[in-house]
């Protein structure tokens, strides 16, 4: 029996004691461990981009040119974080920035030809990363897991 199975049985079997606190049973701790596993799998498949950088490229592929702030909203990043991500992608020639025609304070972000080629090449790897991350689960468990995660998000 795996450690995760043992933990699930422990959590299911015990009545919660409001005075007891076990870190390994806390949702944040378990989510962080799952996230670390996913990031490790991601890095093994896509070593030259971070998950946030890939998210920015993938979303730009989907929506086309958009403002830097809107891109941050679409990929769940605050303004400062998305700016850093975009700056690094721009330095690598994967995105380009331009000023909005009317509102000159507004920065627009778009994929370059190199960025479009890169994201198209990486999409199949991203699918493999998702499959590998979810591999311990059955198809039914994946559907339930994704539904429950979406409720938390």
Tell me whether residue 3 is in a domain: no
- Average pLDDT over the chain, rounded to whole? 91
C-alpha distances in Å from residue 6, one per residue of 1, 28, 115: 7, 18, 44
Is 65 strand, coil or helix?
coil
- What integer pLDDT is reported at residue 50 of this predicted model? 96
Tell me whether residue 12 is in a domain: no
CATH number of the domain encompassing residue 120 = 1.10.10.10
The pTM for the full model equals 0.81
Phi, psi angle pair for 48, to nearest 5° = -95, 5
The model's confidence at residue 18, banded by pLDDT at 50, 70 and 90, is: confident
Q: What is the pLDDT of residues 93-152, one digit of tens each?
A: 999 999 877 776 788 999 999 999 999 999 999 999 999 999 999 999 999 999 999 999
Indicate whether 44 pLDDT > 70.
yes
Indicate whether 35 pLDDT > 80.
yes
Tell me whether residue 148 is in a domain: yes
Tokens found for residue 101: 């025609």
Question: Residue 42's domain spans which residues?
Answer: 28-152
Indicate the length of the chain as a whole number. 153
Tell me whether residue 9 is in a domain: no
What letter does residue 39 receive in the DSSP assignment? H
Indicate whether 28 pLDDT > 60.
yes
Q: What is the pLDDT of residues 57-71, one digit of tens each?
A: 999 999 999 999 999
Domains identified in the chain, total number: 1
């Amino acid at each position: 029996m795996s450690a995760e199975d043992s933990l699930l049985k422990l959590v299911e079997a015990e009545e919660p004691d409001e005075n007891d606190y076990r870190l390994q049973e806390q949702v944040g701790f378990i989510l962080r461990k799952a996230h670390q596993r996913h990031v490790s799998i991601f890095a093994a498949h896509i070593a030259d981009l971070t998950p946030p950088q890939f998210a920015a490229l993938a979303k730009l592929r989907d929506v086309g040119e958009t403002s830097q702030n809107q891109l941050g909203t679409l990929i769940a990043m605050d303004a400062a974080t998305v700016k850093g991500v975009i700056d690094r992608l721009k330095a690598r020639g994967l995105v380009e920035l331009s000023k909005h025609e009317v509102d000159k304070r507004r920065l627009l972000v778009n994929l370059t030809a190199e960025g479009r080629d890169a994201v198209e090449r990486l999409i199949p790897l991203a699918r493999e990363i998702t499959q590998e991350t979810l591999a311990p689960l059955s198809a039914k468990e994946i559907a339930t897991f994704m539904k429950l995660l979406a409720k938390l998000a």
